[in-house]
Structures are given as structure tokens and as C-alpha cells.
């Protein structure tokens, strides 16, 4: 069981280089392993606006929508210019930075009282479902069309960016 509480200081995953040694490690298998390590640590808190459960739920929601479709999109011009360039820069660098308390445009609001274990399980399930999914992926609401490999890297970078707010 995962519990959230204050038990220490410092960002658990502040140094991405410690978490993932190379861009080749931006895989679902590696992030699931890191999330399992996080769960085993048992006691965590968020330094940001969202608690740990909401972070996990948000990341799961993003992965789920890459299969089912995003409810709102940036303009086609945005996706072909700013969005595409942003993803290319993140992909080349192997890390993403974005507003960590911004919901997915048009997505259902995440409940304020979401259970931590439930949200963790939802994230692991979403990652596993994405990994085995062989159908057509939805166009990303900001980045536009992504291949499955690009989406995998985007999802992992997205999770890693959010994990920088989790302390132990």
C-alpha cells in the first residue's frame, strides 16, 4: 500500500540523470520499474499543487487519451509549428518541462479525493495497455501526429517531469 506523508526532504527524482542514465531508457518498462520502486518507498508527498494521487491520475489520463482521443486540441497551425517544435526539442533532449498543474484541455476533472493506490494502479494499467496497444493512436492535442515510439517517449518524459515534484 502507498501512503502519502511528510517524511524527508529533497526531491525524489529531481536529478533525471540518476533516474535514467540515457535516452534509450525512456521506455515504458523502465518507468514501470521506477514507479514500482517509488511504491515500495511507501511514503511520499508532492511539493506542487497536486498531490501524488492526482499526479498519477493525470499521467494515466494522458496515456489513456493517446489511445481514445483527446477532447480538445490546439489549432492545426499550432500543432504543425509550436507543438511539433516543442516535442522535437523535448525528444532530442530526452526530457520535458511543462506546467505541472495544468489539466489536459477538455479532459474530465480529476477528483480531489482520489485514492493513492487506485491512482497508482490506474497509471500502471494505462502504461501496460499502451504498451500492448496495436491500433491507431490519437493525434496529440498539442504535438500532433506521433508514432508509437514517439508517444512512448512523450509519456515517459511526461511522467518524469511530474515525478520531480514527489518527495520522500
How is 79-127 classified by DSSP, letter by letter? Answer: IIIIIHHHHHHHHHHT-----TTPPPTTPPPPPTT--HHHHHHHHHHHH
Q: What is the pLDDT of residue 167?
A: 84
Domain assignments of the chain as residue spans, ordered by start:
3-167
Q: What is the pLDDT of residue 42?
A: 62
Indicate the helix (H) or strand (E) that contains 55.
Answer: helix 52-68
Q: What is the pLDDT of residue 142?
A: 98
- What does each of the 168 residues of the chain score in pLDDT, given as a tens digit? 443 333 333 344 444 455 444 455 899 999 999 999 888 876 688 999 999 999 999 999 999 999 999 999 999 999 999 999 999 999 999 999 999 999 999 999 998 888 999 999 999 999 999 999 999 999 999 999 999 999 999 999 999 999 999 887
Amino acid at each position: 500500500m502507498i501512503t502519502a506523508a511528510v517524511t524527508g526532504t529533497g526531491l525524489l527524482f529531481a536529478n533525471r540523470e540518476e533516474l535514467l542514465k540515457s535516452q534509450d531508457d525512456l521506455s515504458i518498462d523502465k518507468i514501470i520499474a521506477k514507479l514500482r520502486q517509488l511504491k515500495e518507498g511507501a511514503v511520499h508527498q508532492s511539493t506542487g499543487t497536486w498531490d501524488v494521487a492526482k499526479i498519477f491520475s493525470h499521467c494515466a489520463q494522458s496515456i489513456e487519451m493517446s489511445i481514445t482521443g483527446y477532447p480538445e486540441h490546439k489549432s492545426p497551425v499550432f500543432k504543425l509549428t509550436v507543438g511539433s517544435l516543442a516535442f522535437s526539442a523535448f525528444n532530442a533532449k530526452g526530457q520535458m518541462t511543462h506546467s505541472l498543474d495544468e489539466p489536459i484541455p477538455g479532459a474530465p476533472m480529476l477528483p480531489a479525493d482520489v485514492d493513492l493506490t487506485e491512482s497508482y494502479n490506474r497509471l500502471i494499467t494505462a502504461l501496460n495497455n499502451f504498451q500492448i496497444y496495436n491500433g491507431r493512436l490519437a493525434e496529440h492535442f498539442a504535438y500532433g501526429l506521433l508514432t508509437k515510439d514517439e508517444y512512448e517517449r512523450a509519456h515517459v518524459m511526461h511522467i518524469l517531469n511530474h515525478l520531480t515534484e514527489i518527495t520522500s
